[in-house]
Amino acid sequence: MSSDDRIAVRLEGVSKRFTLNPNRRLNVRDLLLRPHRFVRQFREQQPYWALRDVSLTINRGESVGIIGPNGAGKTTLLQVLAGLSSPTVGKAEVYARCAALLDLGAGLHPQATGRDNAYVNALFMGLSKEEAREKMPDIIEFSGLGAFIDQPMRTYSSGMYLRLGFAVAAHVRPEILLIDEIIAVGDAAFQRKCLNHFDKLRNDGTTIVLVTHNFEFLENVDRVLLLEQGRVTDDGKSEEVVLRYIVQMLEESPATRADFERALKRVWMPTRRDGQASRHQAGAASPTPLN
């Protein structure tokens, strides 16, 4: 196995199978009391392939966006990249240290203060005691939580959970930072702060993998993968993949198309009264590649 130093992660023909039980979970009672039923149930389990034959290589320092509809396997792919879930078929080679921000509040204790949680979470993500102590002021500063940092987490809003979680993940200096579509919870200012921080991490050579439904976040990403029904169906430059995806959505879904046309109408056929405002919105909302 020649491990190229520039490669951060390599997946070769990775498929991931989950089993769906049609009626009920397998349980011990059935195993003991009704072995026949247990065996039948075991046989009747439906395989569900969350990832199908995914091969991809992510280089060190690359930033990759992942888009796709709900249930396409995006989170499963992140879990495989993080080494949390092993592929059913294929090979996953992770050469770098990962920090994953896949969920709001994973590992955060609602009764403990933000400060306690930030410290424990930093250790969970692999920092040593000394490193974590050293990073704490930066983390607290970045979170912008102010006096709330010494309040129990149960008093936090989901935006505040995100602020704390992201502040920790961003400061543990991972070699790969995996982020699941949660930044959308933050307010505009914090989202901007996150994006700026991505740029900074990228400049320092951190590999970033970002799952999102918000195409704005993909502006500065090197590469975007489109995941559909467990397969990587598109892989390329950010604008190109996003554009192709939007066009595809318009073709496939009449509802999206109707929405889109309604939006276009508002933008291009403004009434005199709010024309100024509409045109201004148009500049911000319409994806640039469309013109």
Partner 1 sequence: MAVAASRRPNVANLAKSASTGWDLLAAITARDMRVRYQGTLLSYVWWIARPLALGAVLYFALGQVLKVRLGVDAPHYSIFLLSALFPWFWFSAGILQSAGSFTANAGLLKKVQFPKPILPLSAIFYNTVQFLLTLPVLIVFVLLAGIDPSLTWLVGIPMLLALQLLLMIGLGTLLATLDVFFKDLGPLLEIVMLLMFYMSPIIYPLDSVPDSFRPILLANPVAPLLEGWRELFLDGTLSVFSLWPSIVLTAVTLALGLGAFRTGEKHFADVL
SS3 270: coil
**Which residue, 97 or 200, has its beta carbon nearer to partner 1?**
97
Q: Of the candidates 49, 40, 46, which has an alpha carbon nearest to the alpha carbon of residue 21?
A: 46
**Which residue, 26 or 195, has its beta carbon nearer to partner 1?**
26
Q: Decide: is 238 part of the binding site for partner 1 (CB under 8 A).
A: no
**Which residue, 111 or 288, has its beta carbon nearer to partner 1?**
111
**Which residue, 87 or 230, has its beta carbon nearer to partner 1?**
87
Six-digit token string for 150: 């010494």
Q: How far is the CB of 79 from partner 1 (least distance, A)?
A: 6
Report the site for partner 1 in 83-142 (rule: CB under 8 A). 83-87, 91-98, 100, 102-103, 105-107, 109, 111-112, 116-117, 119-120, 123-129, 132
Six-digit token string for 82: 């993080």
SS3 183: helix
Q: How far is the CB of 112 from partner 1 (least distance, A)?
A: 5
Q: Decide: is 3 part of the binding site for partner 1 (CB under 8 A).
A: yes
Six-digit token string for 154: 């149960």
Cβ burial, residue 243 (10 Å; 0-12/13-18/19+): middle
The percent helix, strand, coil of the chain (3-state, each to 5) is 50, 25, 30
Cα gap 31→21, rounded to integer Å? 15
Angle subtended at Cα 198 by Cα 196 and Cα 199, rounded to the nearest 5 degrees: 65
Q: How far is the CB of 101 from partner 1 (least distance, A)?
A: 8
Among 62, 64, 68, 79, the residue binding partner 1 under the rule CB under 8 A is 79
Cα gap 58→207, rounded to integer Å? 8
Q: How far is the CB of 161 from partner 1 (least distance, A)?
A: 12
**Which residue, 179 or 242, has its beta carbon nearer to partner 1?**
179
Whether 112 and 106 have beta carbons less than 8 Å apart is answered as no
Q: Decide: is 28 part of the binding site for partner 1 (CB under 8 A).
A: yes
Among 22, 23, 24, 29, the residue binding partner 1 under the rule CB under 8 A is 29
Give, to the nearest 10 degrees, the angle between helix 158-171 and helix 188-203.
Answer: 10
Whether 2 and 93 have beta carbons less than 8 Å apart is answered as no
**Count of CB atoms within 10 A of residue 176's CB?**
23
Q: Decide: is 27 part of the binding site for partner 1 (CB under 8 A).
A: yes
Q: Decide: is 38 part of the binding site for partner 1 (CB under 8 A).
A: no
**Which residue, 132 or 226, has its beta carbon nearer to partner 1?**
132
Q: How far is the CB of 117 from partner 1 (least distance, A)?
A: 8
Q: How far is the CB of 154 from partner 1 (least distance, A)?
A: 11
Count the site residues for partner 1 by CB under 8 A.
Answer: 43
Q: Would you give the DSSP letter of residue 186?
A: S
Note the residues at the interface with partner 1 (CB under 8 A). Answer: 1, 3, 18, 25, 27-29, 79, 82-87, 91-98, 100, 102-103, 105-107, 109, 111-112, 116-117, 119-120, 123-129, 132
